[in-house]
Amino acid sequence: MTENEKLALLEETLELDEGSIGPDTVLADLEQYDSMARLSLIVMMDDEFGVKLSGDTIRGFETVGDILALMEEA
C-alpha cells in the first residue's frame, strides 16, 4: 500500500476531506481527532493491518506520520 493510499484510508477513517492531511499534520490540530476517531482508528488498524493498538500507543501519536510509520511496520 502506498503512502497516498494510507493517507486516503486515514482520511476516510477520520472522516476528513480528501487531501486534507499529510505526514506532518499534527493530530491535536485536527478537530475531528476525538475519542470516536480514535476508536475508528483502533478498528481500522486491526482490520486492515492486524495491529492491535493500546491506549498508550494511541496517546503517543503526535502526527499523521506517526500513524503512517506504524502502518509501514505492519
- Give the single-character DSSP code of 34: S
Helix axes 35-49, 3-13, angle to 10 degrees: 140
CATH superfamily of 3-73: ACP-like (1.10.1200.10)
Beta bridge partners of 26: 63
How many beta carbons lie within 10 A of that of residue 13, not counting itself? 18
pLDDT in tens, 14-53: 999 999 999 999 999 999 999 999 999 999 999 999 999 9
CA proximity to 65, closest of 22, 29, 19: 22
Q: Where do the structural domains in the chain lie, given as residue ranges?
A: 3-73
pTM (2 decimals)? 0.94
pLDDT of residue 31: 94
- The band of 74, judged by pLDDT with boundaries at 50, 70 and 90, is confident
pLDDT of residue 50: 95
Here the cell at position 12 is 476516510
Dist CA 4 CA 31 (whole Å): 22
